[in-house]
Structure 1
Amino acid sequence: MAGRAAVLPAVRLLLAVLWAGSLWALGYVAAPTVFGMLGTGQAGDVVGALLARQAWIAIVCAVLLLGLARFAPDLDAKRRRSLVIVIAAMLACALAVYLGLQPAMAHLRELAGPAGVRASPYWTQFAVMHGVSQLLHLVESALGVVLVLKSR
């Protein structure tokens, strides 16, 4: 039982780093690179697909981390509660983007047609959604720092 108790914090930390690292790599390395190399339409498609995959990483990591936090013998009640709050907040950000903003933005891009969303009457609505999406990504990635620190 002592061996298992020592492994659980390490697994918790690994999952936290995976989740946070995927956010940082996608948001601050991959997405800007893709937008710098491809046209806006193509880049949006590529980054949208990467964001969908990253959302699934978030969902899986959140479920596993919540399970590990619930049964972690090394966490007192206060630390467990704060860890769960961070996980829930990060998951809420991910789900808001994945289930709400991304589909709505894709719909606006589709409505805009081949001329692109910038040339359409949907540009303002799209830009607002994109800004909110970026803000949620920033919040989630900042919370990722807290998650890594609290998962140790």
Structure 2
Amino acid sequence: MRKLSEALYLLTITLWVGGLWAIGYIVAPVLFSSLTDRQTAGMVAGKLFALIGWVGLGSATYLTVFLLLRRGGGIFRCAVFWLVVVMALLTAASQFGIQPLMAQLKADALPREVMESVLRDRFAAWHGFSSILYLVQSMLGLWLVVWAGKGLK
């Protein structure tokens, strides 16, 4: 059972961080460069970012439980645990704060596109903030991959 939980631990990190990188730095740019309709590209990218957000929250839950069972009270001295916590907080901030706010701005702009409305600057600012959070989360994810072995000790 120990080998299975360790394999799931490593697979979970791979799925979460690999998904972050694949969607954010491969799929989304390809969508925007390939599709002539930026609205459709944005809609698809948004759905993918929401999906990886849910994957991240599920992954963070499993990783936290794994580390808690593995380390017990020593979990607070584990750098991997703190990486997971910070990444989960960034994911939750995006999933439950920024993304709904951006969706509301899009809805408020109707019948126009948000980038053609008076809400353009607010939307662009929140989009930029969201991008920065995603970049930070992606960098922390790399750190998590490098330090994954520390969580197994």
> TM-score of the superposition, structure 1-length normalised?
0.88
Distance in 1 separating the partners of 2:62 and 2:77? 14
The structure-2 alpha-carbon separation of the partners of 1:76 and 1:17, relative to structure 1 and needing over 3 Å to count, comes to farther
Q: 5 Å matches for 1:99-138?
A: 99-138=96-135
1:151–1:6 CA distance, 2 compared to 1 (3 A)? same
CA distance in 1, matches of 2:119, 2:13: 37
Give CA deviations for 1:104-137 in whole Å, capped at 9, x if unaligned: 1111112212431121110111011000110111
Q: 1 CA distance for matches of 2:69 and 2:25?
A: 34
Structure 2 residue runs without a partner (length 5+): none
Q: State the alpha-carbon separation in 2 of the partners of residues 141 and 69 from structure 1.
A: 21
1:12 offset after TM fit, Å? 1.5
Corresponding position of 2:78? 81
Task: Give the 3-state SS of the residue equivalent to 1:115 in structure 2.
Answer: coil
Q: Residue 69 of structure 1 corresponds to which residue in structure 2?
A: 67
Instruction: Name the aligned partner's letter for residue 52 of structure 2.
Output: Q
Once the 2 structures are TM-superposed, how far is the Cα of residue 22 of structure 1 from its aligned partner?
A: 0.4
TM-score using structure 2 length = 0.88
Number of matched residues?
Answer: 148
Q: Alignment partner for residue 43 of structure 1, among 41, 44, 62?
A: 41
Deviations 1:20-67 (A, max 9, x none): 000000000111111112222111111111111111100110000001
Report the RMSD for the aligned CA atoms in angstroms: 2.0
Determine what percentage of the aligned residue pairs are the same residue. Answer: 34
What is the Cα deviation at residue 6 of structure 1?
A: 3.9
Q: 4+ residue stretches of structure 1 with deviation over 6 A?
A: none
